[in-house]
């Protein structure tokens, strides 16, 4: 029997960082040229700006036109869907779905990332909320990231699989209350995010970027090779995003993982 073929996409959480100039991007490169430059090397990125403002379809259309064939985007859901969770959820979900149409039409949408805060605990109300989001966005590839350890259990894995909500496997500091490095595949796509292991700055930092100021070693990345191989055996697509973005450390580690996987898989 032929080996199963699965698409593995490796990239970074966001790409438009001014502090990448002189590290990954040439000094002085214009912001509008960053995405085409990035797409020369990587086949996937997360769009983070959509968390702060609902994206406009024309902007996503322009982005899709500026990358080569086969390049895939993941779009982080607008904050009202994951953090505010108020009366605007239904309307904002509809707007988000409409905005994503250009990416869907071009086959460029890999996932919609629902990144919930640490305060989002595993309880009946929050599980029902996840079902509601699935009902509001029935045809989208939804990926759920939990920041709280209570979600890491077999019952949650089965619940997510029932609604085809992909569990986000995460690498972050091993601190009390955080989910740890569980590897679950609960949907046709699998998702992994590397946040860094900067335990000292995870809860105590003056600037947000300090939490993600971390460079993985090759040995640390090798720890994930069995898990990624498992996901590749279970899913049709595997997305791996590095969020340790300070001074383009995410780029360095994405390159390292690509090389490690090329040797292994």
What DSSP string describes the chain? -PPPP-EEEEEEE----GGGBTTTBPTT--GGGHHHHHTTT-SEEEE-HHHHSPPPHHHHHHHHHTS-TT-EEEEEPPHIIIII-STTHHHHHHHHHHHTHHHHHTT-EEEEEEE--TT--SSHHHHHHHHHHHHHSTTS-EEEE--SGGG-SHHHHHHHHHTTPEEEEEE----TTS--S-----SSEEEEEE----HHHHS--SSGGGGG-----HHHHHTTHHHHHHHHHH-SEEEEEE---GGGHHHHHHHHHHHHHHHH-
Please list, in sequence order, all residues whose beta carbon lies within 8 angstroms of the beta carbon of residue 197, skipping any fewer than 6 positions away.
171, 172, 173, 174, 214, 216, 220
Judge whether 247 and 215 are in contact, CB under 8 Å.
no
Tens digits of per-residue pLDDT, 138-150? 999 999 999 999 9
pLDDT at site 263: 85
Does the pLDDT at position 2 exceed 90?
Answer: no
pLDDT-derived band at 265, boundaries 50, 70, 90: low
**Residue 48: how many CB atoms within 10 A of its CB?**
19
Tens digits of per-residue pLDDT, 70-118? 999 999 999 999 999 999 999 999 999 999 999 999 999 999 999 999 9
Looking at the chain, the whole-number percentage of residues with pLDDT higher than 90 is 93
Tens digits of per-residue pLDDT, 172-181? 999 999 999 9
């Amino acid at each position: 029997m032929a080996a199963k073929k699965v698409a593995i996409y490796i990239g970074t959480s966001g790409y438009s960082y001014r502090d990448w100039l002189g590290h990954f991007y040439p000094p002085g490169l214009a912001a509008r040229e960053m995405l085409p430059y990035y797409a020369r090397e990587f086949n996937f990125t997360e769009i983070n700006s959509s968390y702060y403002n609902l994206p406009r379809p024309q902007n996503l259309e322009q982005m899709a036109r500026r990358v080569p064939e086969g390049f895939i985007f993941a779009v982080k859901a607008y904050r009202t869907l994951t953090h505010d969770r108020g009366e605007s959820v239904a309307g904002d979900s509809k707007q988000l779905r409409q905005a994503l149409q250009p990416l869907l039409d071009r086959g460029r949408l890999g996932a919609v990332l629902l990144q919930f805060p640490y305060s989002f605990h595993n309880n009946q109300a929050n599980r029902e909320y996840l079902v509601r989001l699935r009902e509001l966005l029935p045809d989208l590839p939804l990926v759920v990231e939990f920041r709280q350890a209570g979600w890491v259990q077999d019952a949650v894995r089965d619940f997510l699989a029932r609604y085809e909500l992909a569990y986000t496997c995460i690498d972050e500091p091993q601190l009390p209350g955080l989910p740890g490095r569980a590897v679950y595949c609960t949907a046709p796509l699998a998702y992994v995010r590397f946040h860094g292991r900067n335990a000292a700055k995870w809860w105590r930092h003056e600037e947000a970027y300090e939490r993600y100021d971390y460079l993985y070693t090759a040995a640390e990345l090798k720890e994930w090779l069995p898990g990624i191989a498992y996901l590749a055996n279970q899913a049709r697509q595997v997305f791996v995003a590095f969020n340790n973005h300070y001074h383009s450390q995410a780029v360095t580690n994405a390159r390292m993982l690509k090389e490690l996987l090329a040797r292994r898989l």
